[in-house]
Amino acid sequence: MLINIRLQLILILFILLISLLLFLNDYLTSILFNQSFYLKESLLFKLPILLLIIPTLIFASLDKKKNLSEINIYKIVIMLIPVTITHVLLASYLIQFVSLNFLDTPFTFSYLIKTKFTQDFVFILTTYGLMYLIARYYHLNLSQDSKRKNKTLTIKTGTRIDTINVVDIDWIAAETPYIAIWVDEKKYLYHSTLTDIINQLDHPDFIRIHRSTIVNITKISSLESRQNGDYDIQLYNNIRLRLSRTYRTPTIDSQLKIKIHTA
């Protein structure tokens, strides 16, 4: 439920941003072409955009659908055309109702429906499509993060089989022909290489910091510069590791929040 509320807020902010940009467009157009700017009329024609908020309830439940990563533009357009037509009809009725009650010269429904279909139909359809894609992208990332958090590694030692959660791994060291996986100061030997294991983990929190070391950045408590480009990394359990300048990249510096000082 909390996830759906977050997505609804994102989509609502997206709608409000579009409304603001359209309002500013009307104002700037009136200035550029030396025309009168009618505040009430501009606000009236932007009011139906708030109808876009209604589908956020539907888009927020997209995580329950299968094949979340598949996006068929043709199917999306076919699905959203009836929604857009309904929006145009409701918008025309809404504008007519408000203009009849609050404006001296109300708009007729026939005028509004022609204007909406000829000027706003493609814009509204595109906006619905963008909202739909935002929801799909949001839930796709959420699904991938969930898989990473729940990912496990099975380690066989003789007749014993241990299953550990990937996110619980503190650091990994090379011990040819094995690698040593450390979890809460407990060591597991695993038949692999550092290159293979980091690809197998496929998790943004694990980075290569040395030719013989991988670390889980969420386990780092502090860093100390060696003044030569290398850093000493201290984990939450006081284990100290070396970050070699050879393995430093802008991405890794950003993840570790290292500020690069240049002369």
181: pLDDT strictly greater than 80: yes
Give the chain's mean pLDDT: 84
Maximal CA-CA distance, the chain: 88
pLDDT at 204: 86
Element (H, E) at 235: strand 231-235
Q: What is the mean pLDDT of residues 30-44?
A: 86
Q: Report yes or no: 129 and 121 within 8 Å, Cβ to Cβ.
A: no
Q: How confident is the model at residue 48 (pLDDT cuts 50, 70, 90)?
A: confident
Q: Which of 213, 206, 218, 217 is nearest to 243 (CA)?
A: 213
Highest mean pLDDT among 35-49, 155-169, 175-189: 175-189
**Token pair belonging to 162:** 């241990």
pLDDT at 145: 64
2: pLDDT strictly greater than 60: no
CA dist list (Å): 159 to 155, 164, 178, 191: 11, 16, 18, 15
Q: How confident is the model at residue 105 (pLDDT cuts 50, 70, 90)?
A: confident
pLDDT at 246: 92
- Burial class, 31, CB count within 10 angstroms (exposed 0-12 / middle 13-18 / buried 19+): exposed
Between 251 and 68, name the one with better pLDDT.
251
pLDDT at 1: 45
Please state the domain extents for the chain: 2-148, 153-255
Q: Which residue matches tokens 């909406």?
A: 116
Report the predicted TM-score, pTM, of the whole model to 2 decimal places.
0.56
pLDDT at 23: 87
CATH superfamily name and code, 153-255: LytTr DNA-binding domain (2.40.50.1020)
CA dist list (Å): 7 to 124, 129, 141, 171: 20, 15, 12, 34
pLDDT at 263: 33
Residue 202, sorted as left (phi over 0), alpha (psi -120 to 50) or beta, turns out to be left
Q: Report yes or no: 172 and 194 within 8 Å, Cβ to Cβ.
A: yes
List Cβ neighbours of 207 (8 Å cut-off, separation of 6 or more): 214, 215, 217, 252, 255
pLDDT at 185: 83
Q: What is the pLDDT of residues 225-251, one digit of tens each?
A: 998 989 999 999 999 999 999 999 888
Between 162 and 56, name the one with better pLDDT.
162
Q: What is the mean pLDDT of residues 100-112?
A: 86
